[in-house]
Structure 1
Amino acid sequence: MVSPAIALAFLPLLLTLLIRYRHYLRLLYRAVLAAWLRDRLTGVPREHRAFQYLLAHAVPGDPRHVLSTLDRWSYGCEHLPSVGPVKGRIVSRLLAERAPRRVLELGTHCGYGAVLLAAGLPPGARLCTVEGNPQLASVAQKVIRLAGFDERTVEVIVGPSEEVIPRLRERHGLAATDFVFMDHGKRCYLRDLRLLESHRLLAPGATVVADNVLFPGAPRFLQYAKSCGRYRCRVHRASLEYFPAIPDGLAELRYTGDG
């Protein structure tokens, strides 16, 4: 049994750790524990609760208002792992600079990123967004349609990214993409980037943007992008969505061809 003297000796260290990592503890509570508890108590998944909030507060057909409403939900109600407004402005700026015609999103979740991307597309452009979870894809479809985008502009593809990517050309008519936004499992980033390469789905000069490369992080993806000779790589430092005290960043890759 630990004596009171030893316990008191460790108290300053414990307090220091709690203060230093308080923002991460808050993230753990809001993003994991509180969401899990509300799911069990209500019997309604968090993303469905967010959509009900959208229906009550968002202006249909106005993508910017849909996004700001989701931001209000995530700041004031429950955390959603979306790209968020801070990093979202970086994505919107890159879209405006590139004006891509063919856009691919990996990781739709509840549709936040898809609405953000679709709102920045030039006329006649097309977005294919991939989600492996059918329940999340169903919510995303409703959010995207609520924002005013039909299937001609945004196609939601349900299935694991490693299975969808090889059939994008044949089944979905995506011969090559000008802009890719990755916001799915961070361990999948490198695998899926190499799949895009091997199936020649990256157009010359294509831009690949990957979220959360600093937190929770995608070190192998970054190492490959910087060393393989196929990309010019830049990391845009920002903060984690809805947690300004937690550092994060977006990776911007410009495809230059085979190294």
Structure 2
Amino acid sequence: MFLRWSYVRFLFGLRHMGTTWQVGDGREQALADYVCAHARRNDIDDVIRAIDEFCYTKSYLINIGDEKGKILDRAVAAAHPHRLLELGTYCGYSALRIARVMPADAVLYSIEFNPANAAVARRIWDHAGIGERIVVLVGTLGDGGKTLSALRDEHEFAPGTIDFVFLDHEKDEYLPDLRRILDQAWLHAGSVVVADNVKYPGVPGYRAFMRRHESAHWRTREHRTHAEYQKIIKDLVLESTFLG
């Protein structure tokens, strides 16, 4: 994986990635083109397969990937959530995995910083036939209240209404955004928060927070795994249940 040109190009694009959440070589749009050309329409399993195929054989992408995706699948299935919040849509891969296993009447709200990424995700979701089950909002929870207000006023987020949260966005915002959610009292006892990339690239403050509050306000499982689309770099996915 480290010798693949797409990964080398990704490393050169890290500065661009940090400001726009795109690598800068068009691979995100190329993914949508590939999915529409190589995956069966209205077949979510085949769309997920096509994305994994693209990431292994064409261009490396920073979605959760197939190995860690199974951890996410199990967490969603166990939680039986009806209102879900995702921070970090990127190209829509994790949302596909979530939608595949969440209850039929559930709705996933996905927050994405980059409108171009949101457009790629919408195109892929529509091809998979699940676009009506996912609401994407362009913004961040830290944008001065705009996105928080939209969730409250337009989408009826209220105390105790979020059953599941998936964190896979700017790593420095994991803990601040969790605190914003807690300040809104949107979680209830039993709500589940899953966080990707806790070891690589790493979110030590978030991990320390969960360890500090273990058994008092949270109960956390640490899943030892690997960073996406390779077996060399180790990673952690945290699955935390809110105790109230």
Superposed pair shares fold, TM > 0.5 = yes
Q: Secondary structure at the match of 1:161?
A: coil
Q: Secondary structure at the match of 1:221?
A: helix
The corresponding residue for 2:157 is 174
Does 1:192 find its partner at 2:177?
yes
4+ residue runs of structure 1 moved beyond 4 angstroms?
22-28
Q: CA deviation at 1:244?
A: 1.1
Of 245, 250, 254, 2:232 maps to 245
Of 32, 36, 39, 1:58 maps to 39
Of 112, 135, 144, 2:93 maps to 112
Q: CA deviation at 1:168?
A: 1.6
**Aligned AA (1:201):** W
Of 130, 153, 156, 2:136 maps to 156
Given that 1:225 and 1:233 are in contact with CA atoms closer than 8 Å, whether structure 2 keeps it comes out as yes
Listed as ranges, the matches of 1:87-98 within 5 Å are 87-98=68-79
Higher alpha-carbon deviation: 22-31 or 52-61: 22-31
Q: Gaps spanning 5+ residues in structure 1: where? A: 1-21, 37-42
> Which structure has the greater CA radius of gyration?
1
Identity level (%): 36
Of 49, 54, 76, 1:73 maps to 54
CA distance in 2, matches of 1:122, 1:247: 31
Q: Secondary structure at the match of 2:34?
A: helix
Listed as ranges, the matches of 1:226-245 within 5 Å are 226-228=211-213, 229-245=216-232
Q: CA deviation at 1:245?
A: 1.0
Q: CA deviation at 1:51?
A: 0.8
Q: Secondary structure at the match of 2:223?
A: strand
CA distance in 2, matches of 1:117, 1:44: 28
Q: Secondary structure at the match of 2:42?
A: coil
Q: 1:194 to 1:116 in 2, by over 3 A?
A: same
CA distance in 1, matches of 2:149, 2:241: 21
Does 1:217 find its partner at 2:202?
yes
Given that 1:131 and 1:161 are in contact with CA atoms closer than 8 Å, whether structure 2 keeps it comes out as no
Q: Secondary structure at the match of 2:233?
A: strand
> What are the Cα deviations for residues 23-80 of structure 1, in whole angstroms up to 9, with x where unaligned?
59988515233899xxxxxx96210011111111011111111111000100111011
**Aligned AA (1:254):** T
Given that 2:7 and 2:59 are in contact with CA atoms closer than 8 Å, whether structure 1 keeps it comes out as no
The corresponding residue for 2:10 is 31
**Aligned AA (2:152):** R
Given that 1:24 and 1:246 are in contact with CA atoms closer than 8 Å, whether structure 2 keeps it comes out as no
CA distance in 2, matches of 1:23, 1:86: 18
Q: Secondary structure at the match of 2:194?
A: strand
Q: Secondary structure at the match of 1:70?
A: helix
Query: Matched residue pairs, number?
Result: 229
Root-mean-square deviation (CA, aligned residues, Å) is 2.2
The corresponding residue for 2:19 is none
Q: Secondary structure at the match of 1:143?
A: helix
Higher RCO structure (Cα 8 Å, ≥6 apart): 2
Q: Secondary structure at the match of 2:131?
A: coil
Q: Gaps spanning 5+ residues in structure 2: where? A: 16-23
The corresponding residue for 2:186 is 201
Q: CA deviation at 1:171?
A: 2.2
Listed as ranges, the matches of 1:141-152 within 5 Å are 141-151=122-132
**Aligned AA (1:79):** Y
